[in-house]
Structure 1
Amino acid sequence: MYKLCYFVPETHLEKTKRALFDIGAGKIGDYDRCAWQCAGQGQFRPLEGSDPFIGESGALEVVEEYKVELVCEDGLVVEALKALKQAHPYEEPAYEVYRMELL
């Protein structure tokens, strides 16, 4: 089992969750579409050659984003990352993947 965490602007919060849920991520026992999310601020500076969804090259951006966490079965993690990247508006979405041990 893996835990997938990612950061996304509110405009694409539901779209990214739906894409992940549709491939089977977020299932815990007899429950599906399980996730945890919280609002916060992210920052980045697009470099020359980038094509940012928000902001412009060379300018520091501070944006309201959500951090979303959900679980993903071993066999789905590669497909989940593909689904996330397709649904996410950022050219380079920030995400983390953790292998979990079930006790």
Structure 2
Amino acid sequence: MYKLTVFIPEPNLEPVKQALFDAGAGHIGNYSHCCWQVKGTGQFMPRAGSQPHIGEQDSIEQVTEWRVEMVVAKEKISEVIKTLKQAHPYETPAYDVIEIIT
């Protein structure tokens, strides 16, 4: 089992979450669509060669984003990460995956 944490801009929150759920994330026992989320502010500066979804090159951008955490079964993690990269609007989405030891 893994825990996926991803940062999603507010306008894209529900579509990205739904894509991850459809790929198999967020299942705990007899429950689906499980996640934890909190709103915050992300910051980044697109550099030369980037194609930013939000902001301009060489200018610091602050964006309302949601930190979303959900569990993913071991056999689903590769597909979930692939789906995340396709569904997320950012050129390089920020995410991490942590193995849960039980």
Name the TM-score class by shorter chain: over 0.9
Provide Cα deviations, 1:30-67, integer angstroms capped at 9, x if missing partner. Answer: 10100000000000000001000000000000111000
SS in 2 for 1:37: strand
State the match for 1:35 in structure 2.
35
Matching residue of 1:69: 69
> How many Å apart are 1:15 and its aligned residue?
0.8
Please tell me the residue identity of whatever aligns with 2:57: S
* Separation of aligned partners in 2, 1:15 and 1:84: 11
Whole-Å separation in 2 of the counterparts to 1:11 and 1:82: 21
**In structure 2, what residue type is equivalent to 1:77?**
I
Matches of 1:40 and 1:17 in 2, distance apart?
Answer: 17
Q: Distance in 2 between matches of 1:25 and 1:59?
A: 34
For structure 1, list consecutive stretches of 5 or more residues without a partner in the other structure: none
- SS for the counterpart of 2:42 is strand
Q: CA deviation at 1:69?
A: 0.1
DSSP 3-state at the match of 2:26: coil
1:82 aligns with 2:82: yes
**Percentage identity across aligned positions?**
53
TM norm structure 2? 0.98
Q: Please, what is the CA RMSD of the aligned residues? A: 0.5
TM-score by length of 1: 0.97
**Matched ranges for 1:1-103 at <5 A:** 1-102=1-102
